[in-house]
Chains A and B, each alone.
Chain A
């Protein structure tokens, strides 16, 4: 593995780690789903760099596309699909109860 590939790997790892921390810290659910798919995208690129194209394709199709799509649709079904980050209520149940009332 050449020097430049090693640097690209390091950059990808840092990006993935920061995206993974963002999933925990960010308040907006849709932003969390997007950050989770960034983690998968970095993982797919790492697989491609490590000469595992089969696994990279699976990760790109399933991890980046399908699983984030399913998470986003689940958010919509639970009624948590809102683009403005709600500051006060982050609890899933609270959101649901609020939806029932309104």
Chain B
């Protein structure tokens, strides 16, 4: 009964949104900033992927806020989940397919994760997507062999180093007399792997931070069992 009421509510909300949306004219946005960024982003930041030039160039402080939200949520999840349970590690191992598949997929997933991070300024994707793939790569062996442990100390070292370097790059731009996190260094040729100045470095920091955070969160989740 409760779910039926929910369905009715969702249907009514959808109808209302449809009625509102039918009054809008799509394809003619009232704001001018989108076309402005599309026209000038490649020359100003040197990144072929305009989304990256927005995320790390025009709206870099938003990205910093996003990173700190992620950090706060990972820390609080670790706090709630608490200590490793005593029964962790006594669970049954994964089957043959999971074990050998995990070992086989690990290098491939690392490769594609770093590929997505390093090409964030050229092709779709970037630090967040690649970082999630890196975290999944480190989580897969844990799923196959429940006794294995991730080295939390080195993970938190990587995370802290990446977060600090993101802010340090921003402060370095201020030392040069520019705005905080403003893109700098030589832009080079548009579309080359080494181009767009500091944007690839920023995305590398984002990817390492996201990957380390999510890997430690997932390993904490899998290593704390339900009370028997």
Is B a genuine binding partner of A? Answer: yes
Interface on A for B, CB 8 Å cutoff?
Answer: 21, 24-25, 53-54, 56-58, 61-62, 65-66, 69-70, 73-74, 76-79, 99-100
**B128 cross-chain contacts in A, Cβ below 8 A:** 58, 61-62
Q: Quick one: which of B118-174 are within 8 Å of A by CB?
A: 124-126, 128-129, 132-133, 135-136, 139
In the complex, chain B residues 195-211 whose Cβ is within 8 Å of any chain A Cβ: none
Residues in A whose Cβ lies below 8 Å from that of B221: 70, 73-74, 77
Q: Is the CB of B7 within 8 A of A24?
A: yes
The size bracket of the interface on B is: 20 to 34
Residues of B within 8 A of A79 (CB): 226-227
A91 to B68, CA, bound (A): 35
Decide: A53 and B226 in contact? CB cutoff 8 A.
Answer: no
Kindly list chain A residues whose C-beta atoms are within 8 Å of the C-beta of B225: 76-77
Q: Is the CB of A73 within 8 A of B222?
A: yes
**B interface, over-half SS:** helix
Interface flags for B210-224 (1: CB within 8 Å of A; 0: not) read: 000010011001101
Residues of B bordering A, CB below 8 Å: 3, 6-7, 49, 51, 81, 116, 124-126, 128-129, 132-133, 135-136, 139, 214, 217-218, 221-222, 224-228
Given A25-B3, A54-B51, A66-B132, 17 more pairs with CB closer than 8 A: A24-B3, A24-B6, A54-B124, A56-B124, A57-B116, A57-B125, A58-B129, A61-B128, A61-B129, A61-B136, A62-B132, A66-B135, A66-B136, A66-B214, A73-B222, A74-B221, A76-B222
Contacts of A74 in B (CB 8 A): 221
18 residue pairs of the A-B complex, CB under 8 angstroms, read A24-B3, A25-B3, A53-B124, A54-B125, A61-B133, A62-B132, A66-B135, A66-B136, A66-B214, A69-B136, A69-B218, A70-B217, A76-B222, A76-B225, A76-B226, A77-B81, A77-B224, A99-B228
B210 to chain A, nearest CB (A): 10
